[in-house]
Amino acid sequence: MKQCWLYLKEWNKDLVTESIEAGIDAIICDSQYVNDIKDLGIINTISEKGGDLSIPGDVELFVITNKEVENQVAKALKAKIAVVRTTDWDIIPIENLIPLGEENLYTFVRNIDDARLAVGIMEKGVGGVVLETEDPFEIGRVVNIVKEIDQEVYDLVEFEIEDVKTIGIGDRVCLDTCSNLAMGEGVLIGNSSSGMFLVHAENIENPYVAPRPFRINAGAVHSYVKVPGDKTRYLGELATGDPVTISDFNGKTYTSYLGRSKIEKRPMLVIYAKDKDGKKHSVVLQNAETIRLTSPKGEPLSVVKLKQGDKVLGSVEKGGRHFGMAVEESIIEQ
């Protein structure tokens, strides 16, 4: 995920406080300010001494004035984060460096327009931006644009329900996130990463329990779940503080974090479906009225009322997964 740092030239409590509240990932500062920053909140610091990351050991700052400096940056990118400043915001050196390791390439920005340009260069962008500003209000604006651009968008497809079968008791995972999910939002869950279903949040009024818009009753412990970075994890291994990817019915996503993960024994069922190419997909969910998949229009569909021919949303991918990372190989899961 792209990072957004603040460059603190001199002590300014308002800038530090706003950085912590806005979600700045780290602050570059003089060594004398490290403890003062830590007194205001938990946030990473980068400094010559006493910081969470050191200058120049972990992070090195460059001003690119010629090709020789550009070559020095290219060498540094192999081992550390390089933060570059260009003259008159010339993007050519950055374009030259991005193919050499954009994840470790950061650049100084002055405002939201600089940030938007930096994270979009060559459709990849730099790995992070370092904001130089004296305006606390600019911090939140830049953080939002960096994180928004970094959001993944899934190409969701329609699955046609073929069958629903009960299978008895299993260990079910309930994800309680730190976000209130809106209508049409949920997480992608599946027995296989090649086909995952959009399981809707429990934010629906019903006669059984009160709505819990932060909760997704996500399925059996073995299931795959989408997490940031286009990765998957097993539901059963998620714990407090772990990130998960929330998707809406249009495929737009954002990251939320788990407040808790509840694993309980519950009656389960298997939902079988096929995509437009006829490929089979399945998911194991709790057998309960309040568990819902998502229709192509973003409407919640209770699993106990699903019938053959109903359409629900999901995602498909070719290849397989190795330790959660997508790989190009043939895998058969059944």
Round to the nearest angstrom and report the end-to-end CA distance of the chain: 33
Angle CA 76–81–87, to nearest 5: 80
User: How confident is residue 323, by pLDDT bands cut at 50, 70 and 90?
Assistant: very low
Residue 13's SS3 state is helix
Q: Which residues pair with 202 in a beta bridge?
A: 212
Q: What is the percent of the chain where pLDDT is above 90?
A: 77
User: Is there a common fold for 3-149 and 157-327?
Assistant: no
Evaluate if residue 223 carries a pLDDT over 60. Answer: yes
pLDDT digits (tens, 9 = 90+) for 49-96: 999 999 999 999 999 988 999 999 999 999 999 999 987 656 788 888
What is the residue whose two structure tokens read 């990765």?
231
Closest CA to 270 of 161, 122, 167: 167
Residue 67's SS3 state is helix
Is the preceding omega at residue 136 within 30 degrees of 0, hence cis?
no
Evaluate if residue 315 carries a pLDDT over 80. Answer: yes
> What is the DSSP code (8-state) at residue 115?
H
Tokens representing 163 are: 């069958």
Residue range 3-149 forms a domain whose CATH class is alpha beta
Closest CA to 105 of 64, 48, 159: 64
Looking at per-residue pLDDT, the higher value among 319 and 247 belongs to 247
pLDDT digits (tens, 9 = 90+) for 129-158: 999 999 999 999 999 988 887 678 899 999
Whole-number average pLDDT of the chain: 91
**Do residues 269 and 288 lie in contact, with contact meaning Cβ atoms separated by under 8 Å?**
no
What residues contact 86, with CB distance under 8 A and at least 6 apart?
A: 63, 64, 93, 94, 107
- Across the beta sheet with 3-7, what order do the strands follow? 53-54, 44-47, 26-28, 3-7, 128-131, 105-109, 81-86, 59-64
Exposed, middle or buried: residue 314 (CB in 10 Å: 0-12, 13-18, 19+)? buried
Residue range 157-327 forms a domain whose CATH class is mainly beta
Q: Give the ranges where the chain is alpha helix by DSSP (H).
A: 13-22, 34-40, 67-76, 92-97, 112-118, 136-149
Angle CA 187–287–257, to nearest 5: 25
What residues contact 286, with CB distance under 8 A and at least 6 apart?
A: 172, 217, 219, 266, 267, 268, 269, 303
Between CA 165 and CA 182 the distance in angstroms is 29
Closest CA to 187 of 115, 126, 140, 242: 242
Looking at per-residue pLDDT, the higher value among 182 and 96 belongs to 182
Segment 223-230 mean pLDDT: 93
Domain boundaries, the chain: 3-149, 157-327
